[in-house]
A = this chain, B = another copy of it.
Amino acid sequence: MAEPTPIRIFDTTLRDGEQSPGATLNYQEKLEIARNLVALGVDVIEAGFPITSDGDFKAVRAIAAETEGAVVAGLARCVARDIDRVGEALKGTPGHRIHVFCATSKVHREKKLHKPIDEIIRLSVDSIKRARTYVDDVEFSPEDGSRTELNVLVDITAAAVEAGATTINIPDTVGYAVPAEYGEIFRHVREAIPELDRRDIYLSAHCHNDLGLAVANSLAAVEQGCRQIECTINGIGERAGNAALEEVVLALRTRRDYYTRFATQIHAARIYPLSRMVSNFTGLQVQRNKAIVGENAFAHEAGIHQDGVLKERSTYEIIDPAEVGVPSSKLVLGKHSGRHALRDRIVTLGYHVDEITLGRVYEAFKTLSDKKKSVYDEDIEALVESQIDASSSTNLWRLVSLQVTSGTNAIPTATVVLADTTGTQVTDASTGDGPVDAIYSAVQRITGVAVELLDYQLRAVTHGKDAQGEVSVEVRHKDLRVRGRGISTDVIEASAHAYVNAINRIRQVATRDRAAGGEGEEPRA
């Protein structure tokens, strides 16, 4: 049998995924995710959109500098300064990619860009050539490609290849395509431009899930000669998100009897830990019935199903949970576990911590294991994440202590003590609609930072009566939206930590310079 065609997995969790409202990732978090994407075996990591902010620029530069074994891509509009900015981010780190895009559909040409197709083609060609002065690897995307007339798509693709593009991505930007139709686009373009095969140009699919068809569309493209799939962990991204990496990969893998001609090089066992990390960092929880990575994905409720699985697993289970890294038992450590065992577990969970951070996590672990008999993977994740955050130099405020009284017949009252970077402690008290509101009022009095609470979520990280609660808040300060997290066996304390964390992060995010764009549009694509 012939060798299967390798299908490249292009992960855009750090670019399209981070565009999910409220999902802003900080620098440390992006690096941690990028390292895990490399370990997962993705071929391309789209690390950001450098022109949009200093944060994106720095993240692309840092990830490009340290990544081996995967191509790092930065996004750019067909605007000289966008391309130059990516070029600068990738400078001195060969083998990486500039990804330029320009909208080509009729509605985008006429209503958004106000440019005829000739001009769009010329602009695209010039931009691709400019990108090629920085790198050998250039991807071009005709935005809203699936709604672009086929002849226009063929013309711009041929011109882009001629200009030096090495990958042509045909995105279903608005999640409008259906599988047979989307596959047909790839068949048509490939047949119309024999040059694509002759020069070994990669065609790529980028699908959004607005009609629930992103995975099926990606697979339909692959069946018609597409060799790169753009996707995100947990399927996060603009609106209803992108094709979920885990679903695309597991469909090809589980149905290798059907997709005999194709294979990815993803290490499936690393999917679940990374899914949890992305969910924790972005605050975008995965619904319980999410395929592959949801809490119920491998749970059998019905008696008939349970009975069947006991008799023969394959009656109701097409994927072994262990295959995608779902641990069979989550209990790992207790108060007698040492530093070494903790480090091993942290590494297995996909985190990279230095000795100083490990020391801090170990201290926090000892404190927690005094309170809690069983320390689960989720507890360890939470400890590591809070220390990664605490080690960030931009933390202005630290929660020293708090005290709360509330009840159905009492006026909820909180006393809060915060320390600033100099160690100076400030104390204040406030009442509120509830204990959490009272704390938040007291924190606002101390910090003087006025924020609006947009979202507040609390979930038990682990099970049982001594479970830790993780609070995730989203706040708005002027036009900035940031998320903060806090964890504790006491939900009130976790709420306070999350709020202080959000206030500290406002400063980090505020440094992201949202430069105005050209072309009559804003630069965040």
Interface membership of chain A positions 482-525, coded 1 if the CB is closer than 8 angstroms to chain B and 0 otherwise? 00000011111101000000000000000000100100111111
CB-defined contacts of A250 to chain B, threshold 8 Å = 211
Roughly how many angstroms separate A410 CA and B258 CA in the complex, as a whole number? 61
CB-defined contacts of A21 to chain B, threshold 8 Å = 288, 296, 299, 301
Which of A115-123, A312-320, A334-342 participates in binding chain B?
A312-320
Roughly how many angstroms separate A179 CA and B514 CA in the complex, as a whole number? 42
New A-B pairs, 8, CB < 8 Å, besides A107-B312, A240-B291? A20-B296, A107-B315, A178-B219, A210-B292, A240-B289, A287-B287, A303-B524, A404-B435
Cβ-based interface call for A26 (8 A): no
- Assess whether B239 is in contact with A175, with CB atoms less than 8 Å apart: no
CB-defined contacts of A216 to chain B, threshold 8 Å = 178-179, 212-213, 215-217
Cβ-based interface call for A436 (8 A): yes
- Assess whether A434 is in contact with B492, with CB atoms less than 8 Å apart: yes
Roughly how many angstroms separate A456 CA and B463 CA in the complex, as a whole number? 8
Q: In chain B, what residue has the closest Cβ to A314?
A: B107
- Return the contact of A406 from the options B77, B404, B514 (Cβ within 8 A): B404
- Assess whether A258 is in contact with B406, with CB atoms less than 8 Å apart: no
Check A288/B296 contact, CB under 8 A, given A434-B489, A463-B453, A465-B440: no
Roughly how many angstroms separate A372 CA and B432 CA in the complex, as a whole number? 12
Cβ-based interface call for A421 (8 A): no
- Assess whether A299 is in contact with B492, with CB atoms less than 8 Å apart: no
Check A238/B517 contact, CB under 8 A, given A490-B412, A491-B434: no
Roughly how many angstroms separate A173 CA and B107 CA in the complex, as a whole number? 41
- Return the contact of A517 from the options B217, B304, B407 (Cβ within 8 A): B304
- Assess whether B173 is in contact with A316, with CB atoms less than 8 Å apart: yes
Cβ-based interface call for A176 (8 A): yes
Roughly how many angstroms separate A398 CA and B298 CA in the complex, as a whole number? 36
- Return the contact of A453 from the options B301, B371, B465 (Cβ within 8 A): B465
